[in-house]
């Protein structure tokens, strides 16, 4: 019986037994109990009768389980904006008013329209789309006074995807402020605006009307002009609500919620709910994007690991493998090949059956088969069985990329006693069907060639020994600010030794200069608490006035030289955490440094902390945002300055309520719950004036007085504001990371911050294994975000430490000692110092340092006597591939 497909936002139909989407985990069908006829009316039962695996059991009943657990993590995500809020914008009345969630499904290739963006009213293509921001966010009338943080960027993304699909679309986006404060977000937004010609309009649309089947929008811009325009579709960028069951969760868990119904946390403990042992991650803690959610998820893992460090490894299950069948491996190659359809990903372009039949004709191949999804659990079982049944000793999987899937198939080989090196993958998806989708014949020919080359190599594969090395159970944390101290404490609390290196003469970093946190607490309290705990921790060794000069080694076995007071100390450690911080940007303009009435936000804080002296005779204060940031000197948004300015404006108002405060800004980016502070500042009379980047404000000194000149968009003229004090919201500059980046051989972003391995999914890992990242070294962020990220880095860093052993990939070089003439070319060329020369019977011979070798093969390609062979990439195997490439031409 058809039911609405909730995954596809009710835009298509599904059935009671269904799977939400093909990549769903676990990838098995489930039955919607609300729609099932058997459950509700005791009829039907068709599915149970037809399931050949007899996997459907209607006798199952809900069970109550009692589990002994030490920590609880709450990650229920976010809830949806109430329908009544959407209805204010015509949703429900006008079919072509859709939510951003619905639009997301429309743009998805596996969505209800296969990625074609159509009007829902008549399923016809459309021309003009408007995105309305802040639907259910920054809106006290619906109870959501906060900013949902993610909608500005996702609207830009959805608009870009739509334009990519249909370049003729005309897309307008209506913002109050453009809040793309995430790392790299401003750059992507600017690229998108530029590349796709997206129209950014600063206005809040109050309502949507329908005129002759089209949707009419009317708005006023901040230059006082009124506009109206017709659109084919209106997308409501709906915000993130607290989860629907937040109250129930809070009651069950015994925790407090904040005034918006999200989990209550504090700036210094952003991952801790109000009850011991209960942690929170993701949108339930406050609206946030994927990188921050993933970061928090790792962070709570660290918290749980700290709490449970004493019982680590007490309930583990060890996977055991059968002994390797060495006799079978040494037999003449019996190659089996499995050609994957990958659903329609490969089979939709490449003639998989033809490739399979062709593979069967290749020399050495004794078995061939096509599979629907080779990587699915049942297919892996089948592959294992076929290998055993046919006594295969070399396996070729023609499917996707070895970069992503080789480990999975290697595991299958291991599980049946075959050496994992005896597999070769032929990439007929990522580098064939996907990139030649319009040329099925040529793609099929290419797939055959690629398979032929893989088979040629497979015949020459040899078993390789998998070695492991012990891990030095110590972490090196570089940087002793809030992030570095938090990471060090977490590592130590998880039970591992930690060396904390700080270049200055005291711990604290930028936190030392902060006076109040965003939630109004004293920053010194957070600082003192961190320092006290670090100093008193038996497993943390603090090295002040120390700098890392050299790092060698690899995950599990790093050796670093640290210079302290002219002396070099050598430290062995298993992992590295980079927490080198950032620095306050020092402005070159706005009379900064020339006039002592022009100060930065941090200087203002420091002055206020000393007393009210700085406010003597001060009537007017002008704050200028984005000094140095967003294209002035630095291209990035410094993320925290808007909230910092508001925090200080409110502090000024608290001390001197009659003070006139002007804030000159481009976009007020008080994301998340900081929006409350922004609203409070407006209520208390702080005046906000928006400026465009091509008309930045000027600070003018005249007759010993200062005035700030700014273009007023409503008056269409420049106005002068006399200022007793000018406060510059200077951005966060990277902390001079170049030297360290060179030492650890890791890339920086164009802005000079460290680059993470994957922006969304590996936000605290570097591309080099065993090195992790947190705090301002990663990019500008608020204190609570730095603390959460430090916890996350500590969680990731603890993984190799807790395992105690690190596997060395067996693709390393091996020197044939008899053929080696000891010339030393390999040693001099090796970029990893992984080859050394030693003397055997007075003759020099080269030798690989197994644990340091990365398998690059520079040594092998330069050895004059061909004495060096690379695991999995031997000369013979590569030559065989070349000959197979040429086919009959090189018989």
Partner 1 sequence: MTAEVFNPHILGFFCHWCCYAAADAAGVSRYQYPPNVRVIRVMCTGRIDVRFILEAFGCGADGVFTGG
Provide the minimum distance between the beta carbon of 342 and partner 1 in the complex, in angstroms, as a whole number. 11
Report helix, strand and coil shares of the chain as percent, to nearest 5. Answer: 30, 25, 45
Q: Where are any strands of DSSP class E within 525-588?
A: 540-543, 546-554, 557-564, 567-573, 575-578, 582-584
Pairing outcome for strands 620-627 and 725-730: parallel
Q: Which is nearer to partner 1, 200 or 829 (CB)?
A: 829
Provide the minimum distance between the beta carbon of 384 and partner 1 in the complex, in angstroms, as a whole number. 25
Provide the minimum distance between the beta carbon of 873 and partner 1 in the complex, in angstroms, as a whole number. 6
Q: Which is nearer to partner 1, 218 or 466 (CB)?
A: 466
What is the number of H-type helices and E-type strands within the chain? 23, 42
Q: Which is nearer to partner 1, 394 or 690 (CB)?
A: 394
Q: Which is nearer to partner 1, 402 or 581 (CB)?
A: 402
With a CB cutoff of 8 Å and minimum separation 6, the contacts of 399 are: 338, 339, 340, 342, 346, 374, 375, 405, 425, 426, 427, 428, 429
Provide the minimum distance between the beta carbon of 370 and partner 1 in the complex, in angstroms, as a whole number. 20
Whether the link from the prior residue into 26 is cis, omega within 30° of 0, is yes
| Rounded CA separation 432/350 (Å) | 8
Contact 621/725 with Cβ under 8 angstroms?
A: yes
Pairing outcome for strands 30-31 and 17-18: antiparallel
Provide the minimum distance between the beta carbon of 436 and partner 1 in the complex, in angstroms, as a whole number. 5
Phi, psi of 640, deg, nearest 5 = -100, -10
Structure tokens at 310: 């004493």
| Rounded CA separation 859/832 (Å) | 11
Provide the minimum distance between the beta carbon of 425 and partner 1 in the complex, in angstroms, as a whole number. 9
Q: Which is nearer to partner 1, 107 or 148 (CB)?
A: 107
Q: Which is nearer to partner 1, 400 or 571 (CB)?
A: 400
Provide the minimum distance between the beta carbon of 829 and partner 1 in the complex, in angstroms, as a whole number. 8
With a CB cutoff of 8 Å and minimum separation 6, the contacts of 91 are: 83, 97, 98, 99, 236
Q: Which is nearer to partner 1, 248 or 761 (CB)?
A: 761
Provide the minimum distance between the beta carbon of 485 and partner 1 in the complex, in angstroms, as a whole number. 34
Provide the minimum distance between the beta carbon of 871 and partner 1 in the complex, in angstroms, as a whole number. 9
Q: Which is nearer to partner 1, 537 or 862 (CB)?
A: 862
| Rounded CA separation 185/337 (Å) | 44
Q: Which is nearer to partner 1, 399 or 622 (CB)?
A: 399
Centre a 10 Å sphere on the Cβ of residue 801 and count the other Cβ atoms it contains: 24
| DSSP per position, 754-795 | BPPSBTTTBTTB-SSTTEEE-GGGTS---HHHHHHHHHHHHH
Provide the minimum distance between the beta carbon of 405 and partner 1 in the complex, in angstroms, as a whole number. 11
Structure tokens at 273: 């709910």
Q: Vertex 339, ends 335 and 345: CA angle to 5°?
A: 160
What is the SS3 assignment for 718? strand
Among all chains, which residue has been given the structure tokens 């009692």?
66
Q: Which is nearer to partner 1, 435 or 840 (CB)?
A: 435
Provide the minimum distance between the beta carbon of 361 and partner 1 in the complex, in angstroms, as a whole number. 19
Provide the minimum distance between the beta carbon of 863 and partner 1 in the complex, in angstroms, as a whole number. 9
With a CB cutoff of 8 Å and minimum separation 6, the contacts of 420 are: 410, 411, 413, 414, 464, 466
Provide the minimum distance between the beta carbon of 355 and partner 1 in the complex, in angstroms, as a whole number. 14
Q: Which is nearer to partner 1, 40 or 828 (CB)?
A: 828
| Rounded CA separation 862/867 (Å) | 10
Q: Which is nearer to partner 1, 337 or 732 (CB)?
A: 337
Q: Which is nearer to partner 1, 349 or 764 (CB)?
A: 349
Q: Which is nearer to partner 1, 129 or 443 (CB)?
A: 443
Interacting residues toward partner 1 by CB under 8 A: 401-404, 427, 429-432, 434-439, 442-443, 445-446, 449-450, 453, 811, 829, 854-858, 860-861, 870, 873, 875, 878-879, 881-883, 885-886, 889-890
Provide the minimum distance between the beta carbon of 374 and partner 1 in the complex, in angstroms, as a whole number. 17
Q: Which is nearer to partner 1, 6 or 879 (CB)?
A: 879
Structure tokens at 827: 């040693």
Q: Which is nearer to partner 1, 177 or 445 (CB)?
A: 445
Provide the minimum distance between the beta carbon of 23 and partner 1 in the complex, in angstroms, as a whole number. 13
Structure tokens at 392: 């295969």
Q: Return the H-helix or E-strand segment holding 620.
A: strand 620-627
Centre a 10 Å sphere on the Cβ of residue 297 and count the other Cβ atoms it contains: 17
Provide the minimum distance between the beta carbon of 888 and partner 1 in the complex, in angstroms, as a whole number. 10
Centre a 10 Å sphere on the Cβ of residue 871 and count the other Cβ atoms it contains: 20
Q: Which is nearer to partner 1, 92 or 363 (CB)?
A: 363
| Rounded CA separation 389/381 (Å) | 12
Strand partners, 571: 560
Per-residue burial over 469-484, b if 16 or more Cβ lie within 10 Å, else e, is bebbbbbbbbbbbbbb
Q: Which is nearer to partner 1, 718 or 769 (CB)?
A: 769
**Residue 506, exposed/middle/buried by CB under 10 A (0-12, 13-18, 19+)?**
exposed
Provide the minimum distance between the beta carbon of 100 and partner 1 in the complex, in angstroms, as a whole number. 23
With a CB cutoff of 8 Å and minimum separation 6, the contacts of 194 are: none
Provide the minimum distance between the beta carbon of 435 and partner 1 in the complex, in angstroms, as a whole number. 5
Centre a 10 Å sphere on the Cβ of residue 519 and count the other Cβ atoms it contains: 15
Q: Return the H-helix or E-strand segment holding 300.
A: helix 290-307
Phi, psi of 131, deg, nearest 5 = -105, 125
């Amino acid at each position: 019986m058809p039911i609405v497909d909730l995954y596809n936002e009710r835009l298509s139909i599904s059935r009671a037994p269904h799977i939400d989407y093909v990549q769903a985990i676990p990838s098995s069908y489930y039955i919607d109990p609300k729609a099932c006829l058997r459950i509700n009316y005791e009829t039907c039962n068709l599915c149970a009768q037809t399931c050949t695996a007899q996997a459907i059991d209607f006798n199952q009943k809900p069970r109550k389980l009692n589990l002994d657990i030490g920590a609880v993590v709450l990650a229920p995500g976010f809830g949806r904006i109430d329908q009544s809020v959407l209805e204010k914008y015509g949703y429900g009345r006008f079919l072509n008013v859709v939510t951003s969630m619905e639009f997301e499904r429309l743009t998805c290739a596996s969505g209800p329209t296969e990625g074609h963006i159509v009007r829902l009213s008549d399923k016809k293509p459309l021309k003009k789309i408007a995105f309305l921001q802040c639907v259910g966010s920054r809106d006290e009338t619906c109870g959501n006074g906060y900013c949902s943080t993610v909608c500005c960027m996702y609207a830009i993304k959805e608009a870009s995807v739509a334009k990519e699909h249909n370049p003729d679309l005309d897309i307008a986006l209506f913002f109050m402020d453009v809040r793309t404060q995430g790392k790299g977000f401003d750059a992507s937004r600017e690229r998108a605006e530029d590349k796709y010609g997206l129209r950014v309009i600063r206005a809040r649309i109050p309502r949507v009307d329908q005129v002759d089947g089209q949707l009419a929008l009317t708005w006023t811009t901040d230059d006082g002009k009124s506009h109206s325009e017709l659109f084919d579709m209106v997308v409501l960028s709906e915000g993130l609500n607290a989860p629907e069951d937040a109250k129930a969760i809070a009651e069950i868990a015994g925790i407090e919620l904040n005034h918006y119904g999200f989990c209550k946390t504090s700036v210094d403990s952003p991952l801790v709910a109000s009850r011991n042992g209960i942690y929170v991650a993701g949108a339930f803690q406050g609206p946030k994007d994927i990188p921050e959610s993933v970061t928090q998820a790792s962070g709570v893992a660290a918290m749980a690991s700290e709490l449970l460090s004493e019982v680590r490894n007490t309930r583990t299950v060890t996977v055991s493998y059968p002994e390797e069948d060495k006799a079978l491996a040494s037999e003449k190659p019996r190659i089996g090949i499995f050609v994957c359809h990958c659903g329609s990903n490969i089979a939709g372009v490449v003639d998989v059956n033809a490739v399979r039949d062709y593979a069967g004709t290749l020399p050495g191949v004794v078995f061939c088969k096509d599979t629907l999804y080779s990587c699915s659990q049942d297919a892996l079982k089948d592959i294992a069985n076929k290998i055993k049944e046919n006594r295969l000793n070399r396996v070729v999987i023609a499917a996707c990329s070895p970069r992503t899937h080789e480990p999975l198939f290697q595991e299958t080989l291991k599980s049946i006693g075959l050496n994992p090196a005896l597999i070769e993958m032929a990439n007929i998806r990522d580098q064939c069907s996907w990139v030649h989708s319009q040329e099925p014949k040529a793609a099929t020919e290419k797939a055959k060639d690629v398979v032929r080359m893989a088979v040629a190599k497979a015949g020459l594969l040899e078993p390789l020994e998998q070695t492991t090395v012990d891990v030095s159970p110590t972490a090196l944390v570089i940087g002793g600010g809030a992030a570095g101290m938090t990471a060090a404490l977490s590592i130590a609390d998880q039970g591992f030794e930690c060396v904390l290196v700080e270049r200055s003469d005291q711990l604290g970093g930028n936190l030392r200069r902060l006076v109040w946190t965003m939630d109004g607490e004293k920053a010194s309290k957070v600082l003192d608490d961190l320092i006290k705990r670090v100093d008193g921790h038996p497993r943390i060794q603090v090295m002040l006035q120390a700098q890392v000069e050299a790092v060698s080694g690899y995950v599990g076995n790093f050796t670093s030289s640290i210079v302290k007071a002219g002396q070099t100390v050598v430290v062995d450690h298993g992992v590295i955490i980079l927490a080198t911080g950032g620095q306050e940007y020092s402005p070159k303009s706005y009379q900064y440094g020339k006039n002592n009435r022009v100060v930065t936000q941090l200087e203002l804080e420091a002055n206020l902390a000393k007393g009210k002296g700085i406010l003597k005779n001060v009537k007017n204060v002008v704050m200028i945002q984005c000094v140095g940031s967003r294209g002035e000197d630095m291209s990035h948004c410094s993320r925290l300055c808007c909230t910092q300015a508001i925090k200080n404006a409110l502090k000024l108002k608290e001390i001197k309520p009659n003070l006139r405060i002007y804030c000159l800004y481009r976009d007020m980016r008080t994301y998340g719950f900081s929006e409350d502070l922004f609203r409070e500042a407006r209520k208390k009379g702080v005046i906000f004036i928006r400026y465009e980047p091509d008309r930045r404000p000027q600070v003018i000194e005249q007759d010993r007085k200062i005035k700030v000149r700014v273009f007023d968009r409503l008056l269409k003229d420049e106005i002068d504001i006399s200022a007793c004090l000018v406060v510059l919201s200077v951005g966060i500059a990277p902390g001079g990371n170049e030297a360290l980046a060179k030492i650890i051989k890791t890339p920086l972003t164009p802005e000079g911050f460290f680059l993470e391995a994957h922006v969304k999914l590996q936000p605290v890992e570097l591309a080099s294994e065993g090195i992790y990242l947190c705090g301002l070294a990663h990019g500008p962020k608020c204190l609570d975000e730095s603390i959460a990220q430090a916890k996350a880095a500590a969680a990731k860093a603890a993984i190799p430490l807790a395992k105690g052993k690190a596997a060395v990939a067996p693709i390393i070089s091996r020197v044939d000692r008899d053929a080696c003439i000891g010339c030393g070319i390999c040693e001099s060329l090796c970029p990893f110092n992984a080859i050394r020369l030693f003397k055997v019977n007075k003759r020099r011979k080269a030798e690989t340092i197994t644990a340091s070798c990365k398998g690059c093969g520079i040594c092998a390609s330069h050895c004059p006597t061909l004495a060096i062979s690379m695991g999995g990439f031997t000369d013979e195997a590569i030559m065989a591939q070349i000959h197979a490439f040429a086919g009959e031409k090189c018989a």
